[in-house]
Amino acid sequence: MIAAILGSSITFIDGTVVNVVLPVLQRELNADVSQVQWIVELYALLLSSLILVGGSLGDRLGRKRVFMVGVVIFALSSAWCGLSPNIIHLIIARGIQGLGAALLVPGSLALISANFSKEKRGRAIGTWSGFTAIAAGIGPVLGGWLVDTFSWRWIFFINVPLAAAVLIVSSLFVPESKDDRAEGRIDWLGAALATVGLGGIVFGLIESNSLGFRNVTVIASIGVGMIALTGFVFAEAREKHPMMPLGLFSSSSFSGANLLTLFLYAALGGILFFLPFMIIQFDGYSPTAAGAALVPFVLTMFILSRWAGGLVDRYGSKIPLVIGPTIAATGFALFGVLASGSGGYWTKYFPAVMVMSLGMSISVAPLTTTVMGAVDQRHSGIASGINNAVSRTASLIAVAVFGVVMVYTFSTGFQRQITNIPLSQDDRSQMSSHTDDLLNIKIPGNADPESAAAIRTAIRVSFVRGFQMTAYLAAALGLLSALSAWLLIGQDERKNRRAVDQ
């Protein structure tokens, strides 16, 4: 339990901490928004595309062995992140972290499943879930404090002693286990096509912020990504032992649950990427305060998860999975409505955080129950893995798409705002070419005080409008997730009842 909790906690802490300190990383490493996106995206890309392969490797080569290899890779790459001299080193190191996490994350739950009896397994997984939720909540506050007190580098260095503890406990007390019945080869082709497909699309979307959608590199990248993802579907259909068995999607409830996951977690990932920029760079909160701003979200999820799980027994899964995302969508929209306000945290952010938290709390436990209940018991592991991969892929794609929306809205609004400010054509062009820096756009040094103040106002107004557009996009995705539940979840049961009646 200690090995599994600590092992998965370092990835949860790392995931929540990095988002909070992105504004600091952008400022201190002199990065534009595209480079900041890659700090998150390369990690998410390798994790989401390889997590199913990581689980298969553990089953075949030994769950403890693969888990410990993942911990070592994660620790070494964390040290590299902390020592990175520039943004390029940090991005590459984050990618290696994602590779380690793809081996570590599925291994943590696999160790629990392999070492606890069926009677104790549910309680053990519940304990693991509770502690990892606490870790996710502590992460932003701890990370903000480390940044304020020491440096952003310490949010990565702290992983090293935690990883060392995991390795010591694992080597001394965790027995090895593997699936002797596992057959066939690892689906490396599927993993490669998924990585190239997702990577191509994400690269094209992110680079379009600076190059534009008409750029040959952007068009080619998105085209290669779409071709690779199409090839992935065909490869999985032909593969004897695929990493993602397409037959599971014949269940409308399973398909609906994963479509809901895609839309809902895309909305959540997109809004949580830009929220720290709003809190830290726009409103001037410290990283510690920004980390604390989302603690109510984690606590609400933790407190209400058991109650939400009981909703399925009382009402079935469909009703909670329509109501929950609808409430979450309301919370996302509330971020946009309140963004232009002048109040403090309790009036500007807290109401939206709490409504979003309630919606997500109602959704998560019924969603997991639906995914696991929509397939045969023997496929429960792969079904859970697919849903995990879908949620991470959703965040991966969302950060890229939301970035395009933010930069486009900011750019068009900013250029319109500075039209009547007395500036030279060179100064105007210089600022317009750096709109992907968002709030970090440099004001021309020769601007008079009145013009400089007007430019600062234009930057802030344009940023708020961009954030509002991302919030409303998140709300639309939340409503699409509710619609997916309404249309698809429960269709299997209705078809079976009709067949029995006939």
Q: Where are the domains of the chain?
A: 1-175, 187-242, 251-491
Residues of the chain above pLDDT 70, percent: 93
Same fold flag, 1-175 and 251-491: yes
CA distance 164 to 161: 5
What are 5-41's pLDDT values in tens digits?
888 888 877 777 888 888 888 888 888 888 888 998 8
Of 360, 371, 133, nearest in space to 248 by CA: 371
List of residues 6+ apart from 103 with CB closer than 8 A: 54, 57, 58, 66, 67, 69, 70, 73
Compute the average pLDDT of residues 190-210: 90
pLDDT band at 433 (very low <50, low <70, confident <90, very high): confident
Alpha helices in 374-448 (DSSP H): 380-417, 425-432
- What is the token pair recorded at 492? 């299997």
Does 467 score more than 70 pLDDT? yes
CATH of 1-175, one of 1.10.287.1040, 2.60.120.260, 1.20.1250.20, 3.30.428.10: 1.20.1250.20
Average pLDDT over residues 198-205: 92
Q: Give the pLDDT score at 372.
A: 75
DSSP letter (8 states) at residue 279 = I
Task: At 172, give phi and psi (nearest 5°).
Answer: -90, -35
Give CA–CA dist 13/20, Å, rounded: 11
Number of H helices, E strands in the chain: 19, 0
Longest dimension (CA), the chain: 82
- Is the pLDDT at 477 greater than 90? The verdict is yes
The pTM of the full predicted model, rounded to 2 decimals, is 0.86
**Amino acid identity, position 385:** G
Looking at residue 499, what is its pLDDT?
47
* Predicted local distance difference test score (pLDDT) of residue 500: 43
- Residues in the chain, how many? 502
The candidate with the shortest Cα–Cα distance to 33, out of 495, 448, 460, 441, is: 441
Contacts of 18 (CB under 8 A, 6+ apart): 39, 40, 43, 94, 143, 155
Which of the residue ranges 5-9, 111-115, 325-329 has the most confident prediction, judged by mean pLDDT? 325-329
What are the tokens at 289? 């305060």
Phi-psi region of 316 (alpha: psi -120 to 50; beta: other; left: phi over 0): left
Question: What's the angle, vertex CA 397, arms to CA 246 and CA 100, rounded to 5?
Answer: 80
* Region 251-491: CATH code: 1.20.1250.20
Residue 8 token pair: 């998965």
What is the reported pLDDT for 412?
92
Report the range of poorest mean pLDDT among 257-261, 266-270, 300-304.
300-304
Mean pLDDT to the nearest integer, 114-123 = 72
Contact 36, 88 (CB under 8 A): no
Instruction: State the CB neighbour count (10 A cutoff) for residue 332.
Output: 28
Average pLDDT over residues 447-458: 89
Task: With beta carbons less than 8 A apart as the criterion, state whether 34 and 209 touch.
Answer: yes
Burial 459-487 (b: 16+ CB within 10 A, else e): bebbbbbbbbbbbbbbbebbbbbbbbbbe
